[in-house]
């Protein structure tokens, strides 16, 4: 299929971009990597009046370390993030997740900010940045604001972005002494995850001091498993702690039934992932 007719704009400044967003409102769609938007256009699932290509906006594709932490620009390609030494050093959870984001060809064009803005419930990066308690930096003609990742994802393809706003960067704060582990289960590598888990924790003297377990593919967005976290914090790190967390997980998740199977199927996948990922977490070095 071919897309419905639309106007194409390629602004080179933020002022021009915001003017176009004001002009078209809900009838304008931003284009970054295009790995989700272009198929939607071709299948006419999206029929905007205008497509606004932001790839010429300056300063949005870098990866830097600042006093705030690791700053990943919204237009940084997945492939760049995947192979970044800075990301591997300062946010290994993201580095571990990147090879699971689509296929290699998709990662050459897809962007970090685009994945965050789309808010696909089965996407890896939203769960990672929630687990890392990152901040999403957004900008509009009114100025700039920071939105905690924990408040950003509101539901299926729904975020805290206001009309006229776009993501400029994701800021990952430093967490010295923490450990990370990641895992997902899909029918084939590169397919959408049936269930996934991004884990970030601080373990001292063989005891969990803090833990963030964020699932994806099992709800309307990233799902924090607070019951399982509490079970980990209640005792020493080991097989008993993992078993207690798996038992507590039943009250944390309410996955949907779909063409891939009933809700119980995804619950079981989540239990398997929790065992695998938390075991790796305990074995990992901080």
Local confidence band at 192 (pLDDT 50, 70, 90 cut-offs): confident
Read off the DSSP letter of residue 20. Answer: H
Overall fold of domain 63-172? 3.30.465
| H or E element in which residue 198 lies | strand 195-204
Torsion of CA 116, 117, 121, 125, to 10 degrees: -10
The confidence score (pLDDT) of residue 136 equals: 98
The ranges of the chain annotated as CATH 3.30.43.10 are 7-53
Q: What is the mean pLDDT of residues 50-71?
A: 97
Q: What is the mean pLDDT of the chain?
A: 95
Chain segment 84-127, per-residue pLDDT in tens: 999 999 999 999 999 999 999 999 999 999 999 999 999 999 99
Residues 6+ apart with CB under 8 A from 54: 11, 17, 30, 31, 32, 60, 75, 166
Comparison of pLDDT for 47 and 285, the residue scoring more = 47
Please, are residues 162 and 140 in contact by the beta-carbon 8 Å criterion?
Answer: yes
Just give the CATH number of 180-283. Answer: 3.30.390.50
Token output for 168: 């400029």
| Reported pTM | 0.95
Reported residue count of the chain is 286
What pLDDT, on a 0 to 100 scale, did the predictor assign at position 237?
83
Tokens 């990301």 sit on residue: 87
Would you say residue 130 has pLDDT above 70? yes
- Whole-number pLDDT of residue 134: 98
**CATH 3.30.465.10 occupies which residues in the chain?**
63-172
* Band of residue 61 on the pLDDT scale cut at 50, 70, 90: very high
CATH 3.30.43.10 matches 7-53: yes
The residues with which 139 forms a beta bridge, in sequence order, are 144, 166
pLDDT at 285: 58
Q: Tens of pLDDT along 211-241?
A: 999 999 999 999 999 999 999 999 888 889 9
Tell me the C-alpha to C-alpha distance, in Å, between residue 59 and each of 56, 239, 277.
9, 47, 36
Q: What percent of the chain has pLDDT over 70?
A: 99
Residue owning tokens 């695998």: 276
Query: Encoding tokens for residue 210?
Result: 């803090």
């Amino acid at each position: 299929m071919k897309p419905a007719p639309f106007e194409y704009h390629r602004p080179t400044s933020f002022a021009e971009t915001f003017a176009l967003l004001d002009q078209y409102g809900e009838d304008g769609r931003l284009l970054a990597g295009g790995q989700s938007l272009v198929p939607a256009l071709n299948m006419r699932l999206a029929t905007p009046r205008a497509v606004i290509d932001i790839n010429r906006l300056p300063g949005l594709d870098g990866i830097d370390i600042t006093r705030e932490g690791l700053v990943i620009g919204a237009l940084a390609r997945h492939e760049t993030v995947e192979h970044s030494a800075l990301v591997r050093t300062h946010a290994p959870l993201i580095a571990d997740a990147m090879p699971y984001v689509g296929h290699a060809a998709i990662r050459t064009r897809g962007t970090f900010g685009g994945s965050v803005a789309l808010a696909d419930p089965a996407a890896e990066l939203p769960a990672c940045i929630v687990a890392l308690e990152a901040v999403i930096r957004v900008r509009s003609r009114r100025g700039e604001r920071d939105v905690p990742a924990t408040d950003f994802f509101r539901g299926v393809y729904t975020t805290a972005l206001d009309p006229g706003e776009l993501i400029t960067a994701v800021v990952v704060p430093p967490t010295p002494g923490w450990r990370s582990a990641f895992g997902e289960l899909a029918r084939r590598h590169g397919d959408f995850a049936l269930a996934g888990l991004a884990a970030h924790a601080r373990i001292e003297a063989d005891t969990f001091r803090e833990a963030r377990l964020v699932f994806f593919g099992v709800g309307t967005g990233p799902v924090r498993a607070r019951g399982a976290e509490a079970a980990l914090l209640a005792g020493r790190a080991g097989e008993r702690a993992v078993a207690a967390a798996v038992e507590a997980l039943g009250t944390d998740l309410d996955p949907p039934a779909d063409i891939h199977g009933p809700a119980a199927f995804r619950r079981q996948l989540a239990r398997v992932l929790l065992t695998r990922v938390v075991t790796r977490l305990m074995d990992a070095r901080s």
